[in-house]
Amino acid sequence: AQSVTQLDSQVPVFEEAPVELRCNYSSSVSVYLFWYVQYPNQGLQLLLKYLSGSTLVKGINGFEAEFNKSQTSFHLRKPSVHISDTAEYFCAVRPGGYNKLIFGAGTRLAVHP
Partner 1 sequence: SQTIHQWPATLVQPVGSPLSLECTVEGTSNPNLYWYRQAAGRGLQLLFYSVGIGQISSEVPQNLSASRPQDRQFILSSKKLLLSDSGFYLCAWSVGSSETQYFGPGTRLLVL
Q: Are strands 31-38 and 23-26 parallel, antiparallel or unpaired?
A: unpaired
Residue from 18, 20, 26, 51 binding partner 1 (CB under 8 A): 51
Give the Å distances, CA to CA, from 32 to 49, 63, 87: 7, 18, 23
Contact range with partner 1 by CB under 8 A, out of 15-23, 61-69, 74-82, 103-111: 103-111
Closest to 91 (Cα-Cα) out of 102, 82, 100, 99: 102
Per-residue binding string, partner 1, 13-42, x by CB under 8 A, is: -------------------x-x-x----xx
Residue from 43, 53, 54, 71 binding partner 1 (CB under 8 A): 43
> Is 63 one of the binding residues for partner 1 (CB under 8 A)?
no
In the complex, the smallest distance separating the C-beta of residue 86 from partner 1, rounded to whole angstroms, is 16
Closest to 54 (Cα-Cα) out of 64, 67, 69: 67
Give residues in contact with partner 1 (CB under 8 A): 32, 34, 36, 41-46, 49, 51, 90, 94, 99-101, 103-106
